[in-house]
Structure 1
């Protein structure tokens, strides 16, 4: 059987491509398309043999798409038009223009792709762009499923809830009667590995957690509900511990990743602190390493200092003493390699040496979880294409 011919739109640093390689399907990315120069540099570093078009999608004529004879489209359109911080301007946002162009092209293709997989942020499911997507897919004869899943669903200790749509232009496999319902679990599938991973969607919480995060954390600026949620997450034995995703060589450059004194003094009460034994971390965004609030968790490197003891009565001390106590925790940022690990990128993934750390965080924050997409591709692409 000939490999599937895949078009990768908004290719970024290659998350979709890595997922395709991991899912066991005989496939070839015939073209990747993106306008981000840094992301393209990283993509070409990892996939030097894949043609990469560094141009805007809406600048590519229909004729060029028809020449590709594609079987599948994988895409992760810009998410800013659908986020709260992006003002949710939806289809009037200029960054949605290329996606609307893709929707306009789809029914005009001489041979529309049999498969489509799309990823975007939570919020896309309520957008006009999503409504247009569903309308076009229906008119073009696609059956599809929509879902909201997080990497915790496959045992990864990172919360990154995302919208996914799988579409198949066939009478088989995907049922049309699920159009209106957005799933919160992976669809049932015959593949044993997928079913085992899907079982993780039913958390098996124990009565008490293990590790430092089961202490009372109300000394920080969080509600009791937030405290209980974190304890519950750390009690879920179906989630792997953070320590399995850490870089063993980070101690060689530890100073580079430690939080600066001014950051500790200003933001300590709102830091999301995790430990190597934790089974949770918050979503890493493109601002990680530059901004603190809501951009991702920080790791307590010290195994001797007690977090609760350090924070208890902290504001009663002088600035010098507060800093001394906070520094005993050895709080650090996750390295780009560690963030990539938590986002499911394989060990073979690498950054070119000349890409700065800040840029590495930025492109990772715009990427997707490779393991989640790999599982979805296994479901979307039927057994006839699996290399088994």
Structure 2
């Protein structure tokens, strides 16, 4: 069997390419396309032999697409038009222009690709862009399945709930296909019948969202808690119970398996100003925890809602630090909070959680802020890799 010829759209730092390698499928990326010059530097650093086009997708002609002669598309279109903390402009957002161009080009290709995989944020599944996408797929003769998946389902201690669609050009349904439904687990052919009963209703979607995703950034004011009582931090008893349940799930690895062995982490410790301002809003995890919230592109710059922070003083009980914290002076408060030795996860640690192998690196000239931003815009390699194997299986 000849290697697959893969077109990687919105290639970023190369998460899709890495997932393709991770899947052990015989494939060649015939072209990777992205306009982000910094992301392209990282891509070239890790995949120097891949043809990389630093141009807008909407500027690529039908003839240029045909000349690439690809039979698989991997893509992760811009998520901003669909994210729940954005304006949700959907197809009216200028950033969807390139995706709409792809939908216009696809039916006109000299030869349709056999496989398509798309990744986006939760929220894409209820967008007009999604409706146009699946309509185009159906018109072209593709069979497809949609998913909402998080790395936690693969035993990775990081919540990153994302929308995925895999499609295959064929007349018969996929073995695991459940028309009109979104699966929340990876399918197996053996459990296809069981999967047919995995229906997502609004209640389940809300439940998943609350379980897997961090709260969006706010204006810094405490959230309205209704009749719920907040305990020593801005967490309800229910939230603490959920976190304890996650930490006791032995099917998920501990965070310590993903951490760097470096004695000098001083540059990653939270500055006093951030500690004082966001103390009650931090999602604090220890190396022995089996969970962490989604890392966003603002991690390291913004604190609230951008990802978990690590408590490196493991012998200190967090309750002892936070009890009566609000009654203390700033100096006393800072002294208490400093006992926890809270630090940001390093870019390498986030890359580890995202499934990038140790040999995947960043050019030395990149700043820490740039690395965080690129990783926040990337995807989980292992999740995509498993979906590729599922699609080709």
State the TM-score, normalized to the length of structure 2. 0.88
Q: Report the alpha carbon displacement of residue 222 of structure 1 after superposing the two structures with TM.
A: 1.3
Native 8 Å contact 1:146 1:179 kept in 2: no
For 2:69 and 2:20, the matched residues in 1 are separated by 18
Match of 2:331 in 1: 320
1:22-37 aligned at under 5 Å gives the runs: 22-37=22-37
Local SS of the residue matching 2:340: coil
Native 8 Å contact 2:175 2:189 kept in 1: no
Pair 1:9-2:22 in alignment: no
Pair 1:133-2:169 in alignment: no
1:337 and 1:176, CA in 2 relative to 1: closer, same or farther beyond 3 A? closer
For 2:377 and 2:152, the matched residues in 1 are separated by 18
Pair 1:233-2:210 in alignment: no
* CA deviation profile, 1:300-326 (whole Å, cap 9, x unmatched): 011222211011111111111110111
1:259 and 1:106, CA in 2 relative to 1: closer, same or farther beyond 3 A? same
Pair 1:345-2:353 in alignment: no
Match of 1:199 in 2: none
Give the paired residue count.
356
1:185-224 aligned at under 5 Å gives the runs: 185-189=185-189, 218-224=231-237
Q: Report the alpha carbon displacement of residue 38 of structure 1 after superposing the two structures with TM.
A: 0.6
For 1:272 and 1:135, the matched residues in 2 are separated by 40
**Which sections of structure 1, spanning at least 5 residues, go unmatched?**
192-215, 383-388
* CA deviation profile, 1:150-180 (whole Å, cap 9, x unmatched): 0001000000000000000023561596231
* CA deviation profile, 1:214-241 (whole Å, cap 9, x unmatched): xx99200112221111111111110000
Native 8 Å contact 1:143 1:176 kept in 2: no
Q: Report the alpha carbon displacement of residue 85 of structure 1 after superposing the two structures with TM.
A: 2.1
For 1:176 and 1:308, the matched residues in 2 are separated by 46
Local SS of the residue matching 1:145: strand
For 1:130 and 1:318, the matched residues in 2 are separated by 52
Local SS of the residue matching 1:95: helix
Pair 1:374-2:385 in alignment: yes
Local SS of the residue matching 2:63: helix
Native 8 Å contact 2:176 2:187 kept in 1: no
Native 8 Å contact 2:275 2:337 kept in 1: yes
Native 8 Å contact 2:296 2:373 kept in 1: yes
Match of 2:89 in 1: 89
Match of 1:203 in 2: none
Q: Report the alpha carbon displacement of residue 84 of structure 1 after superposing the two structures with TM.
A: 2.1
Native 8 Å contact 1:217 1:308 kept in 2: no
State the TM-score, normalized to the length of structure 1. 0.90
For 1:176 and 1:190, the matched residues in 2 are separated by 9
Native 8 Å contact 1:241 1:276 kept in 2: yes
For 1:92 and 1:217, the matched residues in 2 are separated by 40
Local SS of the residue matching 1:5: strand
Match of 2:169 in 1: 169
- Stretch of structure 1 that moved more, 172-181 or 286-295: 172-181
Pair 1:307-2:334 in alignment: no
Local SS of the residue matching 1:8: strand
**Which sections of structure 2, spanning at least 5 residues, go unmatched?**
192-228
For 2:173 and 2:388, the matched residues in 1 are separated by 13
Match of 2:155 in 1: 155
1:346-361 aligned at under 5 Å gives the runs: 346-361=357-372
Local SS of the residue matching 2:373: helix
For 1:260 and 1:157, the matched residues in 2 are separated by 25
* CA deviation profile, 1:240-259 (whole Å, cap 9, x unmatched): 0000000112x22x110000
Pair 1:264-2:275 in alignment: yes
Native 8 Å contact 2:146 2:182 kept in 1: yes
For 1:376 and 1:217, the matched residues in 2 are separated by 40
Q: Which runs of 4+ in 1 moved over 3 A?
A: none
Native 8 Å contact 1:245 1:342 kept in 2: yes
Native 8 Å contact 1:189 1:379 kept in 2: no
Q: How big is the alpha-carbon RMSD for the aligned residues of Structure 1 and Structure 2?
A: 1.5
